Chains A and B, each alone.
Chain A
Amino acid sequence: MELLRECLEKLSAVPSVSGFEDRFSDLIRSLISENVDRVEGDALGNVIAFKKGKGKNKLKLLFEAHLDQIGLMITGIEKNGILRFTGIGGVNPLTLYGKRVRILSPEKLYGIIGMTPPHLLKAEDEESIFPIEKLHIDAGFGSQQEAGNHVDIGDVAVVDYRSEMLTGGHFCTSGLDNKAGVLTLISAIRALGHVNLYHDAYFLFAVQEEVGLRGAKVAGFTLSPHAAVVCDVTFADPIGDGMEVKTGKGPVVGKGPNYSPRLVRTICELAEREDIPVQEDIETRPGGTDAFVLQVTKRGVYSAGLFVPLRYMHSQVEMINLKDAYRASKLMICLALQENLLSAGD
Chain B
Amino acid sequence: MLLEDYCNIYAGAGDEHLMRDAVRRDVEHCADEMSVNPLGNLTVTRKGKTGAGAVLLSAHMDEVAFILRSIEKNGLLKFSTAGGFVPKVLPGNAVAIGKKRVPGVIACKSYHLMTSEEKKKAPLVKELFIDIGASTKDEVKELKPGDYVYFTSAFFIQNGKYFGKAFDDRAGCAALTETLNEYRSSPPAVTIHAVYTAQEEVGLRGAATAAFGYRNVLFNLNLEGTTCADRELEQTYSPSTEMGRGPAVTFMDKTTITQRALLDFVISVAEQYSIPFQLKQTVSGGTDAGMIHLTEGGIPSVTISLPVRYIHGPWNIVSEDDFTHYCELAKAMIREAARFRP
Q: Which residues of A contact B (CB under 8 A)?
A: 80, 82, 90-92, 94-100, 109-110, 112, 114-122, 125-130, 134, 136, 138-142, 146, 159, 161-162, 164, 166-170, 172, 235, 237-240, 243, 246-248, 310-317, 319
Contact = CB atoms under 8 A, between A and B. Distances in A.
Task: Identify the interface centre among B92, B107, B237, B313: most chain A CB within 10 Å of its CB.
Answer: B92
Interface string B69-108: 0000011100000001111110111100000001111111
B131 A319 contact: yes
A116 B135 contact: no
Contact of A116 (B76, B120, B161, B235): B235
Given A136-B231, A146-B159, A167-B140, A247 B236 contact: no
A140 B84 CA distance: 25
A119 B84 contact: yes
B158 interface: yes
Contacts, number: 224
A140 B229 contact: no
Contact of A167 (B89, B139, B282): B139
Contacts of A98: 86, 88-89, 310, 313-315
Given A95-B108, A239-B76, A80 B231 contact: yes
B76 A90 contact: no
B279 to A, nearest CB: 16
A-B pairs, 8 with minimum CB distance? A166-B133, A170-B133, A98-B89, A140-B161, A140-B159, A98-B313, A313-B110, A317-B105
23 contacts: A80-B230, A91-B111, A97-B86, A98-B86, A98-B310, A98-B314, A112-B309, A117-B313, A120-B284, A122-B236, A127-B124, A140-B161, A167-B75, A167-B102, A167-B139, A168-B135, A168-B139, A235-B113, A238-B74, A240-B113, A311-B110, A312-B105, A317-B108
A282 to B, nearest CB: 16
Contacts of B104: 166
Contacts of A92: 108, 111, 114
Interface of B: 74-76, 84-89, 91-94, 102-114, 119-124, 129, 131-135, 139-140, 152-153, 156, 158-161, 163, 227, 229-232, 234-238, 240, 244, 282, 284-285, 309-315, 317
A313 B236 CA distance: 32
A138 to B, nearest CB: 6
Interface SS of B by simple majority: loop
Contacts of B309: 112, 114, 138
B76 A94 contact: no
Interface SS of A by simple majority: loop
A89 to B, nearest CB: 10
B119 to A, nearest CB: 7
A129 B114 contact: no
A99 B139 CA distance: 29
A140 B231 CA distance: 11
A329 to B, nearest CB: 21
B121 A128 contact: yes
Contacts of B87: 126-127
A95 B92 contact: yes
B232 A237 contact: no
A290 to B, nearest CB: 16
A244 B139 CA distance: 20
B134 A319 contact: no
B313 A136 contact: no
Nearest to A100: B315
A119 B107 contact: no
A90 B158 contact: no
B135 A248 contact: yes
A120 B315 contact: no
Nearest to A170: B133
Contacts of A90: 111-112
Given A119-B227, A122-B236, A140-B317, A239 B88 contact: no
Given A112-B310, A129-B120, A159 B92 contact: yes
Contacts of A130: 235
Contacts of B229: 116-117, 120
Given A99-B315, A140-B163, A110 B158 contact: yes
Given A127-B121, A140-B159, A140-B163, A112 B133 contact: no
B86 A118 contact: yes
A140 B317 CA distance: 8
Nearest to A121: B86
A235 B84 contact: no
A98 B134 CA distance: 26
A184 B135 CA distance: 22
Nearest to B284: A119
A139 B85 contact: no
A110 to B, nearest CB: 6
A46 to B, nearest CB: 25
Given A110-B156, A120-B236, A122-B237, A164 B92 contact: no
B235 A125 contact: yes
B238 A120 contact: yes
Contacts of A121: 86, 235-236
Given A138-B317, A313-B111, A164 B103 contact: yes
Nearest to A313: B110
Task: Identify the interface centre among A91, A118, A240, A316: most chain B CB within 10 Å of its CB.
Answer: A118
B141 to A, nearest CB: 9
Given A99-B315, A110-B163, A117 B310 contact: yes
Contacts of A141: 159
A117 B84 CA distance: 9
A246 B133 CA distance: 12
Contact of A315 (B108, B121, B244, B285): B108
B112 A140 contact: no
B122 A127 contact: yes
Contacts of B163: 100, 110, 112, 140
A120 B89 contact: no
A57 B158 CA distance: 61
A47 B238 CA distance: 52
A262 B93 CA distance: 43
Nearest to B140: A167
